Amino acid sequence: MTGHHTPADPSRSGPPERDGLGQAGLPAQALAGLRVLDLATLFAGPLAATLLGDFGAEVIKVEHPRRPDPARGHGPAEDGIGLWWKLLGRNKKTITLDLSHPDGRDVLLRLATGADVVIENFRPGTLEKWGLGWDELSAVNPRLVLARVTGFGQFGPYARRPGFGTLAEAMSGFAAITGEPDGPPTLPPFGLADGIAALTTSYAVLTALRGREASGRGQVVDLALIEPLLTVLGPQPLWYDRLGHVQTRTGNRSGNVAPRNTYRTADGSWVAVSTSAESVAERVMRLVGRPELIDEPWFPTGTGRAAHADELDEAVGGWIARHGRAEVLAAFEKAEAAVAPVYDIRGVLADPQYRALGTVTEVPDDELGTLRMQNVLFRLSETPGAIRWAGRPHGADTDEVLTGIGLDRAAIDGLRRAGAL
């Protein structure tokens, strides 16, 4: 189980030291002492909690006793154990609690008394229906931050609709600009909107906690899946507002620069080329034997080159098609031009740069043995993150957590008999 941090001496050769939690000498984690209650399901809310847990927050994952987080059943499984959950559930203690049960509600309020953050993604009004809305939560803990992650936000005409990342990818404008010009709008084959919303939620939570330092009070974070993805799509509202410009599908090409595309090599592999800077575009043209194009009046600007993408793609693609991938990569590197191999996961795991960074790490797991998964998201030199454990079984830590808030064995057994656990 390894963390992400840089060497104390930056002049040292070799990879950064990477300590597992519990090893002697591990620096304090940046979010140690922070307690997070993860009430959310599937991906955006739970992943935000995972990101906080990676840097030391104590995350308590609360699942329904009879309906665990559906993420446990998504994707391939080994021996009936979902592997996606091993990533999403890492660094979390797992407990069961029926929040709609009066006894479950009381236990949640007791947990919230000692928590810093609650993350939930129920439809607006659900927590209120159970007597667990902001009024009740803030009454027991005025310093609490409540992060509410929904498809469409807490108000507005769509607020009570079911919302998933796919809908955000469609409504944000992402699908409309993705795909080939003569093809249909294209959705990503992974949880893009959820992932971006998770990153945004973790940022929002930390922003709210920073605000608490000044005010002494918690607050509500209202995050809609449809908004963060719209932000990362760039200045489209500005373009339309000022120029009436609507971005269209261009496949792998860019409307801003060229050449920018994926190209097939002589050995059947693929590489991606980017020339956002004019100097890089010039190097590419010299490399592929077409230096005369540099003198064209349209070449110095990105939009000018984009308007002549056919001609530039023919020059670059034709040269790349005559050479194997290793030769292409070596020639581009020597020319200081921007190129990258197009990998599937096999290429990622074998790549020396990813290995040097420790981007994929090994995590011991009681159920499945050693697992390889993505490491914590970034490196901190003084307070690094760490993966303490992979996702644990449903309800594995219920007794420990509830004992920690003062419930004895008789009380816990009573909650189980009542169906609250």
| Distance (Å, whole) CA 26 – CA 394 | 29
| Distance (Å, whole) CA 209 – CA 201 | 12
| Distance (Å, whole) CA 348 – CA 344 | 7
Q: How confident is the model at residue 3 (pLDDT cuts 50, 70, 90)?
A: low
Phi-psi region of 122 (alpha: psi -120 to 50; beta: other; left: phi over 0): beta
Q: Looking at residue 4, what is its pLDDT?
A: 53
CATH topology of domain 31-233+391-418: Rossmann fold (3.40.50)
Residue 190 has pLDDT above 90, yes or no: yes
Q: Which residues contact 107 (CB under 8 A, 6 or more apart)?
A: 97, 402, 405, 407, 415, 420
Q: Looking at residue 21, what is its pLDDT?
A: 39
Cβ neighbours of 170 (radius 10 Å)? 15
**Cβ atoms of residues 386 and 19 within 8 Å:** yes
Residue 76 has pLDDT above 90, yes or no: yes
Alpha helices in 6-143, H assignment, sequence order: 44-53, 83-88, 102-113, 126-129, 134-140
Q: How confident is the model at residue 218 (pLDDT cuts 50, 70, 90)?
A: very high
pLDDT digits (tens, 9 = 90+) for 29-57: 999 999 999 999 999 999 999 999 999 99
Q: How confident is the model at residue 26 (pLDDT cuts 50, 70, 90)?
A: low
The mean-pLDDT minimum among 21-30, 138-147, 296-305, 388-397 falls in 21-30
The mean pLDDT value for 409-414 works out to 97
pLDDT digits (tens, 9 = 90+) for 103-138: 999 999 999 999 999 999 999 999 999 999 999 999
Query: In terms of CATH, what superfamily is 261-342?
Result: formyl-coa transferase, domain 3 (3.30.1540.10)
**Cβ atoms of residues 250 and 187 within 8 Å:** no
| Distance (Å, whole) CA 179 – CA 169 | 13
Q: How confident is the model at residue 18 (pLDDT cuts 50, 70, 90)?
A: very low
List the domain boundaries for the chain: 31-233+391-418, 261-342
Could you say which DSSP state residue 396 is in? Answer: T
φ/ψ of 141, rounded to 5, equals -155, 90
The mean pLDDT value for 166-195 works out to 96
Q: Which residues contact 88 (CB under 8 A, 6 or more apart)?
A: 43, 46, 47, 50, 71, 391
φ/ψ of 58, rounded to 5, equals -85, 110
pLDDT digits (tens, 9 = 90+) for 343-376: 999 999 999 999 999 999 999 999 999 999 999 9
DSSP letters for 295-358: GSTTTTSHHHHHTTHHHHHHHHHHHHTTS-HHHHHHHHHHTT--EEE---HHHHHH-HHHHHHT
DSSP letters for 112-144: HHT-SEEEE-PPTTHHHHTT-SHHHHHHH-TT-
**Cβ atoms of residues 265 and 324 within 8 Å:** yes
**Cβ atoms of residues 191 and 43 within 8 Å:** yes
Percent of the chain with pLDDT over 90: 91
Q: Looking at residue 15, what is its pLDDT?
A: 36
pLDDT digits (tens, 9 = 90+) for 250-263: 999 988 899 999 99
pTM, 2 dp: 0.91
SS3 call for 272 = strand
Cβ neighbours of 357 (radius 10 Å)? 14
**Choice among 38, 98, 194, 365 that is catalytic:** 194
SS3 content of the chain, % helix, strand, coil (to 5): 40, 15, 50
Distance between alpha carbon 203 and the CA centroid of its chain, in Å? 12
Residue 23 has pLDDT above 90, yes or no: no
Q: How confident is the model at residue 268 (pLDDT cuts 50, 70, 90)?
A: very high
Q: Has 397 been annotated as catalytic?
A: no
Q: Which residues contact 246 (CB under 8 A, 6 or more apart)?
A: 239, 240
Instruction: Using CB atoms within 10 Å of the CB of residue 392, give its burial: 0 to 12 exposed, 13 to 18 middle, 19+ buried.
Output: buried
Residue 410 has pLDDT above 60, yes or no: yes
SS3 call for 221 = strand
Q: Give the chain's mean pLDDT.
A: 93
Could you say which DSSP state residue 160 is in? Answer: T
Q: How far is CA 416 from CA 40, 61, 93, 402, 409, in A?
A: 22, 18, 18, 12, 11
| Distance (Å, whole) CA 363 – CA 391 | 10
Percent of the chain with pLDDT over 70: 94
